[in-house]
């Protein structure tokens, strides 16, 4: 296998990062597949943008996307005729022979994308497996050589579940040597904030007005309870609160708009306690903002300390020491939620330690 061209990987990653987050691994595995000509299986829970990301990548790197990429949706109604390009009705009528139109199927394309591959009947999966193994469509006297270089298959099923579907599905999995689970490693509020920052400019409409962090807190709370909310649902939630603000003829999203989250599929569980959760989420978001502001203030004081140290000025060092002591007192009184107590303690302890250090340096730079 040839080494992955960094230019190809960089191009794919750049395209994905334009519209998506957490896409580095997907960019890498698609670059490997396209570079090596290997098939790749992308699996994982729905709502994480597998189809959208693959389509974006293929449109970016395949010059003649419409003519060289064959996209096929599998499902319970899938049959061999659809897989192989459709029945040749003329041959069936005039010659009483079962033939297909493989020139109109994925076999004639350089690239193929199979949506929900393992939802197809076992007979279809078995036929596909045989063709991928041999490189030929062989049906009776009909022969057609596969031109497809890379197949990207998408499914919501775990490979372990696929093997339980039977030997046809299990054997087909082996024809996809590259595999990646497409999901998020965490579903914390910071992850959803990152998502909102990426998609919110494209949605337009009313400004989030600081409500994005509160919305992220609400959604992540459900993940803590064992019900992780997909990125797609989170984006639907974002659109809903923006629409709610528009209904009020407002240019800014307010807390009241978040009440309409109870109408978003997957967020119904918020209905009973939404007001209470909103208040708690707002309190956590406000506390986070206070801690962040305090951390920035401490960073500025530490820069002042560095300047005073370089100047070897006892007066400036003592002044910074007093400011650090005052800051330490402020940090002790900082109103935070339970999850931020550790960061508050770090602020207080750091300020106290640096204040002592500043006093020591002031004495060292004072002539007796």
Give me the residue spans of the domains in the chain: 6-181, 189-272, 287-364
- The pLDDT of residue 169 is 85
pLDDT at residue 354 is higher than 90: yes
196 or 336, higher pLDDT: 196
Cα separation, 355 vs 361, in Å, equals: 10
- Categorize the per-residue pLDDT at 272 as very low, low, confident or very high, splitting at 50, 70 and 90: low
Report pLDDT for 5: 57
**Would you state the pLDDT for residue 365?**
83
For tokens 């597998």, the residue is 50
For the chain, percent of residues with pLDDT exceeding 90: 67
Look at 7-11, 87-91, 329-333 and tell me which has the smallest mean pLDDT. 87-91
Q: Which CATH number fits domain 6-181: 3.40.50.1400, 3.40.47.10, 3.40.50.620, 3.40.50.300?
A: 3.40.50.300
| Residue 110 reports pLDDT greater than 70 | yes
Please report, for residues 208, 231, 260, 339, the alpha-carbon distance to residue 247 in angstroms, rounded to integers and kept in the order given: 15, 24, 11, 35
In this predicted model, what pLDDT tens digit does every residue of 179-195 receive, in sequence order? Answer: 999 999 999 999 999 99
Residue 204's φ and ψ, nearest 5 degrees, are: 65, -160
Average pLDDT across the chain, whole number: 90
Look at 145-159, 207-221, 228-242 and tell me which has the smallest mean pLDDT.
207-221
């Amino acid at each position: 296998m040839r080494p992955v061209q960094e230019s190809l990987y960089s191009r794919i990653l750049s395209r994905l990062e334009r519209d998506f987050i957490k896409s580095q691994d997907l960019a890498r595995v698609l670059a490997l597949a396209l570079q090596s000509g290997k098939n790749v299986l992308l699996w994982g829970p729905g709502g994480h943008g597998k189809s959208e990301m693959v389509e974006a990548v293929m449109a970016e790197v395949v010059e003649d996307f419409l003519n060289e990429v064959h996209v096929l949706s599998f499902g319970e109604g899938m049959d061999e005729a659809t897989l192989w390009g459709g029945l040749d009705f003329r041959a069936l009528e005039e010659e009483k022979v079962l033939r297909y139109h493989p020139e109109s199927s994925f076999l004639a394309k350089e690239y193929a994308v199979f949506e929900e591959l393992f939802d197809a009947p076992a007979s279809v999966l078995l036929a596909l497996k045989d063709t991928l193994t041999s490189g030929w469509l062989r049906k009776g006297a009909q022969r057609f050589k596969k031109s497809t270089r890379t197949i990207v298959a998408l499914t919501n099923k775990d490979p372990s579940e696929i093997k339980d579907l039977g030997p046809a599905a299990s054997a087909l999995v082996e024809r996809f040597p590259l595999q990646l689970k497409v999901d998020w490693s965490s579903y914390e509020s910071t992850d959803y904030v990152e998502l909102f920052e990426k998609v919110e400019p494209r949605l337009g409409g009313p400004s989030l007005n600081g409500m994005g962090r509160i919305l992220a807190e609400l959604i992540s709370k459900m993940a803590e309870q064992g019900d992780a909310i997909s990125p797609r649902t989170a984006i639907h939630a974002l659109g809903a609160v923006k629409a709610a603000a528009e209904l009020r003829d407002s240019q800014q999203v307010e807390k009241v708009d978040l009440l309409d989250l109870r109408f978003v599929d997957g967020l119904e569980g918020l209905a009973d306690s939404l007001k209470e959760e909103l208040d708690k989420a707002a309190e956590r978001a406000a506390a986070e903002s206070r801690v962040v502001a305090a951390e920035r203030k401490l960073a500025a004081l530490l820069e002042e300390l560095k300047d005073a140290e370089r100047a070897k000025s006892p007066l400036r060092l003592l002044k910074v020491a007093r400011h650090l002591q005052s800051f330490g007192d402020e940090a002790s009184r900082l109103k935070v939620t339970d999850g931020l107590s550790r960061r508050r303690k770090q602020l207080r302890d750091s300020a106290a330690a640096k204040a002592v250090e500043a006093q020591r340096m002031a004495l060292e730079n004072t002539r007796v």
